[in-house]
Every structure is written in structure tokens, then in C-alpha cells.
Amino acid sequence: MTFTTRPTLRGTFGMVASTHWLASQSAMSVLERGGNAFDAAACAGFVLHVVEPHLNGPGGEVPAVVATADDPAPRVLNGQGPAPAGATIAHFRDLGLDLVPGSGPLAATVPGAVDAWLLLLRDHGTWPLRDVLEPAIGYARAGHPLVSGAVTTIATVERLFAEHWPTSAALWLRDGKPPTPNAMFANPAYADTLERLAAEGEAAGTGREAQIEGARRAWREGFVAEEVATFSRQPHRDSSGADHPGLLTGDDLASWSASWEEPATLEWNGLTVAKTRAWGQGPVLLQSLALLDALDASADIDGRDGRDGSGELGVHLTAEVLKLALADREAWYGDLPDSPLPALLSKEYAAERAALVGDRASGDLRPGSPDGRTPRLPAAHADPDRTAPSGGRGAGDTGEPTVDLSGRTRGDTCHVDVVDRWGNMISATPSGGWLQSSPTIPSLGFCLGSRAQMFWLEEGLSSSLVPGRRPRTTLSPTLVLADGRPVLACGSPGGDQQDQWQLLFVLRHLGAGQDLQQAIDAPAWHTTSFPGSFYPRTMEPHGLVVEDRLGEEAIGALERRGHVVTRSGPWSLGRLCAVARDPRTGVLSAGANPRGMQNYAVGR
């Protein structure tokens, strides 16, 4: 028997895995009382706003991939809000900015998370809104033990709050200093916001759907939109070092709503892997799987070891494949009407790209030419002979909270997976609206997000800033189907690392046959040899960050291949959650990452 840090849970009633035990148990309580997976996931989503405020918030966003028992065809829930109407490249350039700031009001897109959770609840849930919101209201009103990660984040930006963001200081520095880890912390203003959403929903009608629509109107057109628009106009310090007002208006909130979309899919290993389309980075996972298959089919890479992304050769080849997929992300991914995604996912393109993988680590950014198109990269990364910028993403950037004194943040995200006894399944990755992303709106108890930092302030790129366009987000939930039925939901926080860590998990679990917890516990690693999605958008050519447990022999061999290896500690990379269902037996399972001592799976 292989030792794992926790058991892989198994049962037949329901399973939940999330990045916080209170969210997991709140969702499980919904299942216990007759709710389905979508009621439970929405409940967990609102609880995560309260208990992981440094990782997500109501002003952020959430994409999800879902499959229902009645109609298991996967669908994507689009909870990623777009750039405001006033967010033009010219506006930022007129302010003397070359990049969208990583924090502050200027970086805000339209808040998408709350409307998306409500849309999920309306279309696929069964519970009344107030019942779903009850746990989150309770934790916001009465308090919850504030996790140490949130306290560390608050301490890091204490000076910013005290000197420039007084409304954030009033909420998070109540005694003039950060809270104590695990001390009870309440956010009554957000409890009031949720109570009012529920009340305005109930005033809209007696039916469940009518009440949810009433709450959506209150969010997009009512009191929430009014407060957001008013506060956004007030100048505040951002990571550029200057004070700027935001660009969000009431019209921006009223003109956008969450929606349903078709996923991007890949047939792999007899399974269907479903992700968001190329407005998110999800197809990186699909491209990487296709490239690895192309390598397996190559006579030059016959009989390679480490088919689960482990071992010196396995790590090397998988890292080189990821670099190619992430280079394509930089050149081709974005919220575009003419995305070359079908070509990017084709077997022919994968074979062409796999031929670039060699014995030595590449430090070049090498996007391909799908459909014969000529790739274009941002000016900062277009020169292959350039010197690597400073401020790279090696040691310390482990996917856990990474924030500096200006509020710039990388890798802060949550995740929740749920499967119920009927076979409904969802993978959702809430993020944005972190407590450190923007000043707190005092009347609402939350702040705006900073996802616009993923746009480039250059014309003609796949992810150029355009009003009404979604930023090319890193948020990347995953759903896997066998014979058209959902069998696995998984995901991880970690910014640019999300699909890298998920690739390792998928290779280990679905490729090498490891159970959920074993695949989650196995030594993790990721490459940093590509442009980062977060301000200041730097790159570390040849960079490879590994957990020490990979082993000195393998690490030394990787260094001899030209990888610049950063040892990050034995248990530091990845925050995977996963739930699964065996369609033959109906047995459900779940696992959760032990790193950070916060993720938790529950079920029976």
C-alpha cells in the first residue's frame, strides 16, 4: 500500500473537495439536506468569499465546467467579467502607464462571481437563495477563525492600507494592526449585503427562479452596482505608485451577465477532457496532452520513462511540452471571435510542435503558426535574444499567496469540486477580488478585482486591452468524461501554474492509475520559462521550480540538461482538489491537497 497524507475518500452519497474545510463542510451539509451538487457548489462559493478573503471575493470572478445527470454534455459557466467600456489602451497610455497596474481600481473588470453563482443556482440548483446563502451570512455575521494565510497577506499590505486605503484599514486593521491567526473575524457589512440580496430577491416574487433573478438585478442594476460605481470613481493608490480612479460604471455592471458556453475538449486516453475555451488558459492542458501523445508516437522518444511527469526524462519532456503550449497561450489565447483553437488542438499541429522538443532545456519563447498564421508576441517578449527581466517568478512563487507592499498579487485563487449521488458534477475556480487587490467598498464589505492586469497595452495582440473583452484569465477548472458521462472534476489555485499542476495530476491519475490522493501527494514541479500573466509580466528562461522530494539525482540530471532549477521545499507546490465518480459502480471518491494545511475533502 502506498502511503498518502490522507485517505482517498470513497462512498456513494456525495463528495466535496475545496480549498477550505468550512466551504467543504458547508457544501456537504447542503447535500445532506437534499440539495444537489450545484446548490452545494454555490453555497461553498459564497462561503469561500468569507473564509478565504485573500484568495477570492464577491468582486472577483469564477469559471466552472459542469455536467448534469440529466444532460451530461459538459458546459462552461462564464463568470469572468469583461473590461469596462472606458478601459482603452489610450486611457492607460495617457496616464503614462505601459502595463495595467496589478492592484487598485484601474485594474478592475466587471465583477462576475456573484452573478455566475446565481445563474448556476437558477438553472441547475433546487434550493431557495436564502438557504444557499445562510452559511456565508452566518460566518460573515458571527465570525470565523481567520486562516494564517489571510493574516500574513494583511500584514504584508498593512502599510498600504494604513497610508492609502483607509476603508481597507477599517475592516482589516481594526485595532491598528493585523488580526491574530485563527482569531474570530467577522465582516458584518458583507453579511448585510448578502441579507439584502436575499431580501430583494424575495421581494421580486414567490418562485425560486424569480427570487434569484431579483437578486441578480439587485447586484447588476441595484444597490450593489450603485455603490460600486460611486466608489470606483474615487482615486486610490495602485501598484504604479500613483493614485487613479477606476473605470467601472453602473452601465458596465448592468450590460453584462454571466452566461453558458460550449467547452474546449480533447479526446485523450479514451476520455474527453473539457476546459474553458481560449479566453482562459485551460486549453494549455489540452495542448500539453496532445503534445505528449505526439511524443509517445515519435520514434525518437520511444519507451520514455516518467509517463506520469516524474523521473528526470519525464520531467524534462513534460516541461518542454508545457513551454510550447504556454508560448501558444501568449500568442494565440484571448477573447477573440476568430480564435485558432481548433488548429491548436489538432493532431497535425501537435506532431509539428512536438518535433521541437529536444534533449536540452529551451529558454526560448516559441509560439507556433496554427492554420499558417504568423504569431505575434508582446514587445517585452518578442526578442529571443533579450535579457531576462528582473523580478522573476522562482523561489517563493509557489501558488500560495504572493503579494508585495503595493498589493500586487500572484497565484491567489480558490477551488471547489462537487459530485452528488445522482451524478451531477461541477469543477469551479473562484478567484479575484482579493482583500489586497483594491480598497474595500465600506458599505458592501468587499473590494473590486484586478484581473485587467492580464491585458496587454499594445494593439493587435490576442490579449490586447479592448473594452467589453474578457481578460485571458489563468482560472482553469477541469471536467473529464468517459463514454459521455462525467467521471472526474479537478482544479488548483496557482495562477500560471494551474494547468501545469493539473497536467501532472491527470497524467498520474488517469494515465498511470494512481488514486486521487496519491496523485495529489506526488512531488510537484512547474516551469517559469514563459511570460507571467500577472504584473509585472516577467519571464525566467529555462526556469524550473521543483519540490525537493523529486530527488537529488533527478534534479542534478535536469540541471545538466540546462534547466535552471529552484528547490522550493518538500511540500510547497500545488493545491489540487478532485472528486470522481465510477459510472460502472456509482462509487464516488475525493481527495484534497495537504500542502498549506487548508484544503479538505469530505463525503460519504
Q: Which domains, and CATH codes, for the chain?
A: 16-59+103-251+432-454 (no CATH), 264-406+474-603 (3.60.20.40)
- Reference 136, options 43, 35, 198; nearest CA is 43
Task: Round to whole Å and give the CA distance between 411 and 429.
Answer: 12
Backbone angles phi, psi at 109, to 5 degrees: -100, 175
pLDDT at 305 over 80: no
Task: Give me the helix-helix angle, 129-142 and 188-203, nearest 10°.
Answer: 160
Confidence of residue 299 (pLDDT cuts 50, 70, 90): very low
User: What are the backbone dihedrals phi and psi of residue 533, each rounded to the nearest 5 degrees, phi first?
Assistant: -85, -15
Parallel, antiparallel, or unpaired: how do β-strands 478-482 and 271-275 relate?
antiparallel
**Who wins on pLDDT, 323 or 401?**
323
Q: Quick one: average pLDDT of 301-326?
A: 81
Contact yes or no for 84/249 (Cβ under 8 A): yes
Continuous segment of H or E residues that includes residue 51: helix 37-51
Please report, rounded to a whole number, the percentage of residues in the chain having pLDDT higher than 90.
89
Q: Cβ-count burial of 35 within 10 angstroms (0-12 exposed, 13-18 middle, 19+ buried)?
A: buried
The closest of 149, 60, 130 to 451, measured between CA atoms, is 60
Asked whether the predicted pLDDT for residue 525 surpasses 50, the reply is yes
DSSP secondary structure letters along 487-523? EEEEE---GGGHHHHHHHHHIIIIIT---HHHHHHS-
Distance CA 496, CA 323 (A): 12
The pLDDT value given to residue 381: 87
How confident is the model at residue 247, as a pLDDT? 98
pLDDT of 452-495, one tens digit each?
A: 999 999 999 999 999 999 999 999 999 999 999 999 999 999 99
Round to whole Å and give the CA distance between 29 and 324. Answer: 43
H helices within 164-245, ranges in order?
A: 166-172, 188-203, 208-220, 223-232
Q: Terminus-to-terminus CA distance in the chain, angstroms?
A: 22
Res 389: pLDDT? 39
With 0-12 CB in 10 A as exposed, 13-18 as middle and 19+ as buried, what is 343?
middle
Per-chain mean pLDDT for the chain: 93
- Between CA 550 and CA 542 the distance in angstroms is 18
Q: What Å distances lie between residue 125 and 131, 137, 138, CA to CA?
A: 12, 19, 21
Q: Does pLDDT of 380 surpass 90?
A: no
pLDDT of residue 306: 54
Per-residue pLDDT averaged across 22-48, rounded? 98
Least confident of 34-43, 247-256, 309-318: 309-318
Position 538 scores a pLDDT of 87
63 with 473: CB under 8 angstroms? yes
Tell me the three cell numbers of residue 473: 484569465
- C-alpha cell read off for 272: 474527453
Q: What's phi and psi for 402, nearest 5 deg?
A: -125, 110
Question: What's the grid cell of residue 535?
Answer: 504584473
What DSSP letter does each residue of 453-485 carry, written as one string?
GGSBSSTTSTTB--TTPPP-B----EEEEETTE
Looking only at the bridges linking them, the beta strands covering 543-546 and 564-567 are parallel
Confidence of residue 541 (pLDDT cuts 50, 70, 90): very high
Report the distance separating Cα 506 and Cα 272, nearest Å.
12
pLDDT of residue 395: 31
pLDDT at 433 over 60: yes
pLDDT at 535 over 90: no
CB atoms within 10 A of CB 90: 10
Q: What is the spatial distance between Cα 525 and Cα 548, in angstroms, rounded to a whole number?
A: 9
Beta-bridge mates of residue 337: none
Instruction: Give residue-wise pLDDT tens across range 144-158.
Output: 999 999 999 999 999
Question: 266 with 272: CB under 8 angstroms?
Answer: yes
Q: Which amino acid is located at 78 in the chain?
A: N
Question: pLDDT tens for residues 167-223?
Answer: 999 999 999 999 999 999 999 999 999 999 999 999 999 999 999 999 999 999 999
